[in-house]
Structure formats: structure tokens, C-alpha cells
Chain A
Amino acid sequence: MSITDTNRLGLPNLGLGVGLRSKHYSHLMQNDPVVDWFEIISENYINNFGYGRHVLEHICAVRPVVMHGVSMSIGSTDPLNLGYLKQLKELADFVKPVWISDHLCWTGVAHLNTHDLLPLPLTLESLQHVSDRVNQVQDILQRPLILENPSTYMEFQSSTLHEWEFMTELVNKTGCGLLLDVNNVFVSGFNHGFDPEFYIRNIPHKAVVQMHVAGPTDCDTYLLDTHDQPVPTQVWHLYKLAQELTGGVSTLLEWDANIPEYPELVAEVQKAKQVMQGYIPEVPVHRTPYVDAVSNPVDHQVQITHD
């Protein structure tokens, strides 16, 4: 296998990281974080000057931090929310993140926010629209924007590009970076019937700055991106392939519901080391007979932390 030379937009490989979640605040204030770096949900700290901000300040002092957003709505046909971007920049001044990321998606129109990551028709019109906005955002934030491929549950008949082609063109037009969520590739591949390995082989590897791994849920006729399970075998396989093709990039475990105790979370992300040595854990995709599984769980963002 040919190893592509690493570029990552000149950004570092931070190693293995986890998301900063309120459940672990008190643990992290008293114990070594163990992992190499943290990712925060930007919106969780933008108007938050309580304990969460205090913990964030502590974490920023001891580990590199990356800001990951869910409300930029880069694909929306609404005007860019300049107030939000200003707040994002203010938070960046506080956090000094190694980079700032969001998703290739839209969250609503007519000023509504569904707080979901909605899919775009992958057309030349969308490509031009998103490219223009990525350029605007990069001008405002004064840094490259890193965009993540979302899990999707529908494809549009009007689409003329595959997602990997869309991502490639977007990188060419804007110089943005990619956050490759290999679990999302697995989920979308199952839902839309494409080969996830083909997807991963056909994105611009030099632009990949970060990867996400997570555990989805099998809802029988589709996979759902629930972030509430250990990473399954198939996702680890895709992860290994992607790490080899990119030459190694920062890895982050996403776990947003049924969040385990901190040591268990750390143990899960550290499986990535064994995976790279060829030991892939045998973990089936979690199956549920219930229809109330939630993709992109966000309630961890509003939980009040009581000391």
C-alpha cells in the first residue's frame, strides 16, 4: 500500500483524544487527563461562563484543544449567521484551538435551527454555494475551516456528485481541511449502498486533519449515528485504512449518550493503538428493536453540572 505524504494543512497530528463532556468535569479537575488532546462542542461554551468554562480553562492549560461546532450551517441558503461567527471567534480567542471544525451540512432555513445535521443535494449549485461560504468563514476566522462528513439517511435524486467527489472539489476550491468521520462513512455507506472503503480511498488524503470514530446503532433497515456504543469492528477496519492512507492524523472518539466513566472512555480510544498494529477488536454493531434511538444526541450540552 502506498503511503501518501502527510500534509494536513500543516496542522499537527495530536494523537488520541476524547470529547470534553460535563459528566467528566469533576474527574478531570482532579485527575490526569491521560489522553493527548480534547475536542469541545463550541456551542456548549459560547455563552457559558460557569463551571464548564472553568473546566475548559483548566483543560486548555494542560492539553491541546480543538473546537468542533454544530451550528455553523455552512450549507444553508440562509445568510451566514455573522453574530454566531463573532461568538465563535471570541471563544477561539479564549481557547486558542489547534483548529476549528464543523459539518458539511445545514441545520435549517428561515432562521430555524433543527439542531440536526441535514444533508445537502450534492450538486454543482450546492458546491458553489458551500465553497463561497467556506471562503467567507475562513476570511472571518482567519484560519482554514475543517469540515466533517455527516451521517446521512437520505440522498437526493438531483445529486450529480458522490460525497467523496464533493469533498474533493470543496477542498480544491477553498483549501479547507477535512474531518473524516469513518463511522459516518460506514453509516452512510450502509444507508445508501456505497462501498465505504472506496469513499475513503477517493478523498484528498492530504487535506484530512482529523478523524472521528464512534459506535452507531443498527435499526434494521438503516444505521443510525448514535454515538452511544463502543466502536464496532467494521469502523476500526475503516479507521486503519484511513490512517494508513493519510499517514496518520489526530483521532477522536465521540461518545455523547450513555457516556461511560472516564477510564472506560480512555480505554476505548486507546484501542486505536492496537488497531494500527493489526489487532482489530471483535465488536458487533449494536442492534436495537426500539425506534427511539437518537442520532447526534445533543442533550449532554444542556445538562447542568452540580458540584
Chain B
Amino acid sequence: MTELANIQRWLTSIIVKPGALNDKIRLADDYYNLDNSEVVQATLRQTSAQKIEIYARGYILRLMECMEAEYPAVCKLLGEELFHTFVRAYLIEQPSTSPDLYDLGKNFATFLKASQPKNTEQSNDFDLPVELAILERALAEISRVKGLEGRTVKPNYLNDLLYLFDTTNIQASPGLILLNLSWPLAGYVKAVYQTQEPVIPGKKDSFLAVSRNHYRINFQEIEQWQWCFLQSLQTANNYTEAVRIAAEQCAIPQDTLMADLILWISVALNFGYIYKNE
């Protein structure tokens, strides 16, 4: 290995590894056969270790701010101290390997899930931060996907009634995210975004649609049949087929579902859950 490569491995390992600074430096010195005081020039004001510390501390603080920006609701729920503990552990287990900071928080929900205590009776309650993280990641993703904007979407009909019955070419919007969670969490996240005091909701099966229309991000709890219909539309990519599957899943007669859909379709178009393809 060249001297440059060795120094870079030495410094990277000190920055990203856990532990007390002096331990990390000593381990890296041993492993890479270097002596920090001979690598880094000390000055009157600072020792070599103090200089290294600026980078080691800055690394965590900088990425912590990114995680706080992506997961404000999880941070609110856990409290800053616990949130920071989890983020530190996450960054140690899964340090960034991407040029893109957007990828940094990608696996945070999975990490939180894996960090849960195993085999405890009320282990389900530990899913609350996990589900919040899933929702917040979905919001980050929907804000950046290639969405409906810029596509040629069929213009609204002059005759509204005709429009409602014309279901051909209705498709699930690109990027639409459907979440089935154990708590209705949309209100909690909205309160955090509006810097209001959020209320932890009671446990209740929740069907969420996360979408974007005209660059506006929407996330709403919807009815189970609506959710099933959208999910079927995503996979079947055919309106009639989606109605059939959703009716079967929700044990609703097909014509009842169709009638309900006709009333709901304009709402779904408005929120950008679905669109009419040319």
C-alpha cells in the first residue's frame, strides 16, 4: 500500500469507528503502523490528537444533523438523547458509502427494527418508532422521485359526469407509496412539521397513501378498500382487474366497490394517487 493510501485508511478508521478518541487513535496507530504524533503536525495551540478530534467529532455532528432533518418525528418521539444514541449506533453499523446524503437514512427503519429487544411480550410497542421511520423515509422518497409533473396527463373533461365514468387509462401514480401501519401516524408527523406538540395516537390498523401532485406532498390515512384498490392498481395496472382484486380482498361486492370508487376517483386524482394516462 502506498503511504498516501495508508494514511487515508488510518484517518478514515479513526473518524468512523466507535469509541473514545484516544483508544481509536491508538488502535489505528497499531494497525496501520503509524504514530499519530509523527503523522499530524502538532502546533502550540493543539496536539495532534486534538486536531484529529475536530474531524472525528465533526463527522458525527454533521451526519446527526442530516438524520435529524430526515427523521424529525422519530427524534421527537424518542427524545433527542435516545435518538442520538440510535443514530450513532446506526452510523457505526452502516456508515455512508454513497456520494449522496439522501442514501444516508435509507436503512434507518430496518436498523431500528433489528435493534428491538427480542422475545418480549410487549415488543410490538417498540414498532412505533420503526413505523414512524418508515413513514418519514417514504416522505423523503416521495419528495425526490420522478413524479407526475411534466407528464402529459389527460385534461379534465368539461362534462364531469362523463369524466367520472371514463375509467380507462387510470393508473397508479409513479412513486405512490402505500403503507399499512399499526398506528395512524399521519397526524403525529404533521404536528411535528408544524412545530406543534404531537399526540401519540392509539394503536389502530392504518392505511396510508403517500403521494405527490404538482410538487405538493400528500400523506393521508385512507379507507382499507381504497388502499387495496390502489395497491391492486399498482400491481395489475388495469382498472377493472384492480376492482376485482380489491373487492375480493375486502370481501365487498364488485358493484358496491365500483360505485364507491366513482365517488372517490376525483379525490384520488386530486391527491395524485392516480392519474389518467394519455
What residues of chain A have their CB less than 8 Å away from a CB belonging to chain B?
43, 46-52, 54, 71, 76-77, 81, 84, 106, 108-116, 118, 120-121, 123, 125-126, 129, 153-159, 191-193, 221-222, 224, 291-292, 294-307
Contact = CB atoms under 8 A, between A and B. Distances in A.
B17 to A, nearest CB: 11
Contacts of A306: 193, 217
Nearest to B10: A109
B102 A221 contact: no
Contact of B65 (A126, A297, A307): A297
A49, A115, A129: which has the most chain B beta carbons within 10 Å? A115
Interface in B20-65: 38-41, 43, 45-46, 48, 50-52, 54-55, 57-59, 61-63, 65
A125 B39 contact: no
B56 to A, nearest CB: 10
B104 interface: yes
Contact of A294 (B51, B65, B217): B65
A292 B5 CA distance: 30
Contact of A47 (B70, B102, B142, B149): B102
B41 A156 contact: yes
Given A49-B147, A304-B140, A43 B101 contact: yes
Nearest to B70: A302
B7 A156 contact: yes
Given A156-B7, A299-B65, A307-B216, A113 B98 contact: yes
Contacts of A291: 57
B160 interface: no
B9 A125 contact: no
Contact of B68 (A43, A114, A299): A299
B119 interface: no
A154 B11 CA distance: 11
Contacts of B65: 294, 297-299
Contacts of B145: 49-50
Given A304-B139, A307-B216, A192 B68 contact: no
B39 A297 contact: no
B215 A71 contact: no
Interface of B: 2-5, 7-9, 11-12, 15-16, 38-41, 43, 45-46, 48, 50-52, 54-55, 57-59, 61-63, 65-66, 68-70, 95-102, 104-105, 139-140, 142-147, 149, 193, 212, 215-217
B3, B8, B68, B96: which has the most chain A beta carbons within 10 Å? B8
Nearest to A54: B215
B180 to A, nearest CB: 22
B4 A49 contact: no
Given A49-B144, A49-B145, A307-B217, A113 B58 contact: no
Contact of A157 (B12, B38, B99): B38
B216 A298 contact: no
Contacts of A120: 4
A114 B215 contact: no
A184 B104 CA distance: 27
A157 B9 contact: no
Q: Which 8 A-B pairs have the closest CB atoms?
A: A71-B99, A299-B65, A77-B5, A154-B51, A51-B215, A49-B146, A153-B54, A221-B45
A62 B259 CA distance: 48
Given A129-B4, A304-B139, A46 B52 contact: no
Contacts of A125: 2-4
Contacts, number: 170
Nearest to A73: B99
A50 B16 contact: no
21 contacts: A43-B99, A46-B100, A50-B147, A50-B212, A77-B8, A110-B9, A114-B59, A115-B63, A115-B66, A116-B15, A121-B7, A153-B51, A156-B39, A157-B38, A221-B45, A294-B61, A299-B69, A302-B66, A302-B104, A302-B140, A304-B140
B45 A50 contact: no
Given A113-B96, A114-B15, 4 more contacts: A48-B144, A109-B5, A157-B41, A221-B46
A157 B100 contact: no
A295 B149 CA distance: 36
B238 to A, nearest CB: 26
Contacts of A193: 43
A38 B39 CA distance: 39
A295 to B, nearest CB: 5
Nearest to B8: A109
Nearest to B38: A157
A296 B70 CA distance: 18
A113 B99 contact: yes
Contacts of A154: 40-41, 48, 51-52, 54-55
Given A77-B5, A109-B9, A125-B2, A156 B40 contact: yes
A125 B3 CA distance: 9
A290 to B, nearest CB: 11
A129 to B, nearest CB: 6
Nearest to B59: A114
B101 A111 contact: no
